[in-house]
């Protein structure tokens, strides 16, 4: 193929407009390096590599268009015939913006521009922050939801009313944060349809899983739009038998639930409960989630493939000392200072793996909302594969496969790979080589599309502080971490700030400081 100078192509195009074709000698095309760029090209947007969109004037003959595109060594890779627009592929070693400017300079061209990749109007933040007063990460309320990536998950999935979570517990009251969310349930203990809460436990568990969210009152639930099936299995004191649990699972499976939650200290080796959980999974293509319990004991039961057992975390991402653990633990989730709604409609806070389990159950409900065709086994595998690993690498007896992450799980359910860009961190009040003394605050600006779950401070590799919320009155992306340098000897130390976003990605930044407390 011949190469032609720019001036010749301009002449050719002008002649073609008059119906005249000419030919000149061949010379290399010199694309101007100092050509003026249009306003679109100067914007900080990405564009399709090696593509220029060109619209030739309608009076130009097709053969002339072909001659020009050939002369410029471009190939037609697409078009919109109704608009007379061509998508031209430029040579691999060429600059797209230079080609854009060259086409713009030709009399035969009506317009030429790059094919810009435009993000959604909301791409500055792929998070959703509801207006419930007791979901306020800046004040520490609802930290358990940001820790499991709820604010990022809600950008992609908020639950389907067709996915029902059966809460096998003390009953559930239709408090304001569950208004319109309850489907008909059953009282296993009394064999009637009276599912009123005889205590408060069942209502509190239900609100953690699926409270009405973004309604301006109360708390936020993880599975916004999923519904709750109250199944009372408890006696007046709140205790339940394995036979009532098994009957409850059978009833829930036969009446449309896809997820079942048992916030009781379950022996995962119990044969009757295992049989009932197997029935539930096979009948509903769903999952059964159980709490690990709160007496700090270790279980050496083998893993039960029909029960997802959940241990509990504190705000520092460590297993709370009274959370049970063992060889049958599958996942973990926050259990400390969880704000929810009691059976009398008051907002209360509680601690226990009773609240860890419904976070996992609600995540399973979001997964099924994103892809209802999944089987229970597939849902369980997604929950494990999408978890944020804690403790030793891989599975361990304290954290299982890690902390459940709703955002990652929802994307995996849709067959997508979770976004993996780590947060960007900038320490704003200390520079590398700074001299510090006494107790100090380390201020950081943190930016991420999926919101921040928490920040950690490491001093020479040892975690020293953690925060779950922005510093008040400084903006939503400014965090502060406290360090008392009086506890160490004078000398050089490496300070590392680690931030985790709602998608479970971790970013870090380090500086060296000199401690001088003499």
**Which amino acids are annotated catalytic?**
169, 201, 354
Q: Give the single-character DSSP code of 482.
A: E
Report the distance separating Cα 354 and Cα 335, nearest Å. 8
Strand partners, 54: 86, 112
CA angle 165–350–475, rounded 5-degree value: 95
Among residues 360, 297, 356, the alpha carbon closest in space to that of 326 is found at 297
Report the distance separating Cα 338 and Cα 95, nearest Å. 55
Neighbours of 278 (CB within 10 A): 17
- Please check whether residue 312 is in contact with residue 332, taking contact to mean a CB–CB distance below 8 angstroms: yes
Q: How far is CA 298 from CA 295, 369, 441, 478, in A?
A: 9, 34, 39, 40
Report the distance separating Cα 65 and Cα 480, nearest Å. 61
Contacts 24+ apart (CB under 8 A), 128-131: 128/154, 128/155, 128/158, 130/154, 130/213, 130/214, 130/220, 131/214, 131/215, 131/216
- Please check whether residue 291 is in contact with residue 245, taking contact to mean a CB–CB distance below 8 angstroms: no
């Amino acid at each position: 193929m011949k190469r032609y100078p720019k001036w010749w192509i301009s002449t050719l195009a002008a002649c073609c407009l008059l119906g005249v074709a000419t030919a000149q000698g061949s010379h290399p095309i010199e694309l101007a390096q100092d050509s003026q760029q249009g306003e679109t090209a100067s914007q900080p947007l990405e564009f399709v590599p090696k593509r220029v969109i060109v619209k030739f004037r309608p009076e130009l003959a097709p053969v002339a268009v072909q001659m020009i595109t050939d002369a410029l060594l471009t190939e037609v890779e697409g078009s919109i015939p109704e608009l007379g627009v061509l998508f031209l592929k430029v040579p691999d070693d060429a600059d797209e913006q230079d080609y854009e400017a060259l086409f713009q300079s030709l009399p035969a061209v009506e317009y030429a521009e790059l094919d810009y990749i435009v993000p959604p109007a909301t791409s500055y933040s792929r998070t959703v922050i509801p207006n419930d007063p007791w979901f306020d990460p800046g004040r520490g309320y609802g930290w358990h939801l940001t820790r499991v990536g709820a604010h990022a998950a809600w950008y992609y999935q908020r639950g389907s009313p067709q996915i029902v979570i059966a809460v096998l517990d003390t009953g559930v009251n239709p408090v304001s944060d569950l208004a319109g969310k309850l489907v008909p349930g059953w009282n296993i203990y009394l064999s009637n349809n009276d599912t009123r809460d005889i205590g408060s436990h069942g209502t509190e568990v239900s609100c953690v899983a699926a409270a009405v969210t973004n309604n301006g009152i109360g708390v936020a639930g993880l599975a916004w739009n999923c519904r709750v099936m109250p199944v009372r299995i408890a006696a007046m004191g709140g205790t339940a038998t394995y036979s009532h649990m098994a009957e409850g699972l059978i009833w829930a499976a036969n009446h449309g639930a896809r997820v079942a939650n048992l916030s009781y200290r379950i022996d995962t080796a119990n044969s009757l409960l295992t049989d009932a959980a197997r029935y539930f999974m096979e009948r509903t293509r769903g999952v059964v989630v159980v709490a690990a319990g709160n007496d700090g004991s270790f279980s050496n039961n083998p893993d039960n493939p029909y029960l997802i057992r959940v241990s509990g975390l504190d705000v520092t991402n460590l297993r709370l000392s009274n959370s049970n653990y063992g060889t049958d633990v599958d996942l973990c989730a926050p259990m400390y200072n969880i704000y929810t709604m009691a059976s009398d409609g008051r907002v209360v806070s509680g601690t226990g793996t009773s609240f860890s389990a419904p976070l996992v159950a609600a995540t399973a409900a979001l997964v099924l909302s994103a892809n209802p065709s999944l089987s229970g086994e597939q849902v369980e595998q997604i929950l494990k594969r999408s978890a944020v690993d804690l403790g030793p690498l891989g599975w361990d007896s304290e954290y299982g496969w890690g902390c459940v992450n709703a955002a990652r799980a929802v994307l995996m359910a849709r067959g997508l790979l979770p976004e993996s860009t780590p947060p960007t961190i900038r320490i704003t009040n200390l520079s590398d080589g700074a001299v510090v003394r006494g107790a100090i605050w380390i201020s950081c600006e943190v930016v991420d599309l999926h919101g921040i779950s928490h920040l950690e401070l490491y001093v020479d590799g040892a975690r020293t502080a953690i925060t779950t919320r922005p510093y008040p009155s400084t903006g939503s992306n400014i965090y502060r971490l406290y360090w008392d340098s009086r506890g160490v000897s004078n000398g050089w130390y490496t300070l590392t700030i680690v931030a985790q976003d709602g998608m479970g990605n971790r970013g870090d930044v380090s500086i060296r400081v000199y401690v001088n407390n003499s």
